[in-house]
Amino acid sequence: MNAKTTLKQTEIAIVGAGPAGVSAAITAAQAGAKVTLIDENANPGGQYFKQPTLDQPTQLPGNLGTNADKGAELISGLEHPGIELLTNTMVWGISEEDHHLKLYGRGESESLKADRIIFASGAYERLMPFQGWTLPGVMTAGGAQLMMKSQGILPGQKFLVAGTGPLLQLAAVQLLEAGGEVEAILELQSKKEFLLNATKLWGQWDKLGQGLANQKKLKASGVPIKYRHVITRALGDREVEGAVSSKIDSRGRICPRSEDVYELDTICISYGFLPATELPTIAGCEQFYDPAFGTYATKTNSDLETTVEGLFAIGECRGIGGVSVALIEGQLAGLIAAQQLGYDADQDETALRKQHSKARKSIENLGRLFSFDPGICDLVPDDVPICRCEGVTAGEVRESIRRGASQLNHLKPWHRTGMGRCQGRMCGPILQKFIIHEAGLEPSTVEPFTARMPIKPLPMKAVADYTTEGGETTWEDHVGGYGVARTEL
Ligand X SMILES: Cc1cc2nc3c(=O)[nH]c(=O)nc-3n(C[C@H](O)[C@H](O)[C@H](O)COP(=O)(O)OP(=O)(O)OC[C@H]3O[C@@H](n4cnc5c(N)ncnc54)[C@H](O)[C@@H]3O)c2cc1C
Strands (E) in 95-213, as ranges, are 101-105, 108-119, 123-125, 138-140, 158-163, 181-187
Q: How far is the CB of 327 from ligand X (least distance, A)?
A: 8
When the beta carbons of 110 and 125 are compared against ligand X, the nearer one is: 125
CA distance linking residue 94 with residue 267, whole number of Å = 37
Rounded (5°) CA angle 319-130-155 = 75
Q: How far is the CB of 235 from ligand X (least distance, A)?
A: 25
- Decide: 35 and 82 in contact? Cβ < 8 Å: yes
Q: How far is the CB of 444 from ligand X (least distance, A)?
A: 22
CA distance linking residue 5 with residue 468, whole number of Å = 7
CA distance linking residue 60 with residue 62, whole number of Å = 7
Residue 53 vs residues 44, 58, 147, 345: alpha-carbon distances, Å: 10, 10, 10, 33
When the beta carbons of 210 and 339 are compared against ligand X, the nearer one is: 210
Q: How far is the CB of 207 from ligand X (least distance, A)?
A: 8
When the beta carbons of 37 and 264 are compared against ligand X, the nearer one is: 37
Using left for φ > 0, alpha for ψ between -120 and 50, and beta otherwise, residue 207 falls in alpha
When the beta carbons of 38 and 127 are compared against ligand X, the nearer one is: 38
When the beta carbons of 368 and 398 are compared against ligand X, the nearer one is: 368
Contacts of 13 (CB under 8 A, 6+ apart): 35, 36, 38, 101, 112, 114, 116, 117, 118
Q: How far is the CB of 61 from ligand X (least distance, A)?
A: 14
When the beta carbons of 240 and 313 are compared against ligand X, the nearer one is: 313
When the beta carbons of 242 and 322 are compared against ligand X, the nearer one is: 322
Three-state DSSP at 438 gives helix
User: How, if at all, do strands 6-15 and 108-119 pair?
Assistant: parallel
Q: How far is the CB of 278 from ligand X (least distance, A)?
A: 7
When the beta carbons of 125 and 265 are compared against ligand X, the nearer one is: 125
Q: Which amino acid is at 207?
A: K
Q: How far is the CB of 349 from ligand X (least distance, A)?
A: 21
The residues facing 116 across adjacent strands are 12
**What values do phi and psi take at 464, rounded to 5?**
-60, -35
Q: How far is the CB of 404 from ligand X (least distance, A)?
A: 34
Q: How far is the CB of 237 from ligand X (least distance, A)?
A: 29
When the beta carbons of 389 and 451 are compared against ligand X, the nearer one is: 451
Q: What residues line the site for ligand X (CB under 6 A)? A: 15-21, 38-41, 46-48, 90-91, 120-123, 125, 142, 145, 167, 170, 273, 276, 315-316, 322-323, 326
CA distance linking residue 234 with residue 460, whole number of Å = 36
Q: How far is the CB of 178 from ligand X (least distance, A)?
A: 13
Q: How far is the CB of 57 from ligand X (least distance, A)?
A: 21
Closest CA to 119 of 344, 343, 356, 282: 282
When the beta carbons of 228 and 318 are compared against ligand X, the nearer one is: 318
CA distance linking residue 386 with residue 392, whole number of Å = 6
User: How, if at all, do strands 89-94 and 101-105 pair?
Assistant: antiparallel
When the beta carbons of 24 and 401 are compared against ligand X, the nearer one is: 24
Which DSSP category does 165 fall into? S
Residue 226 burial by CB count (10 A; 0-12/13-18/19+): exposed, middle or buried? middle
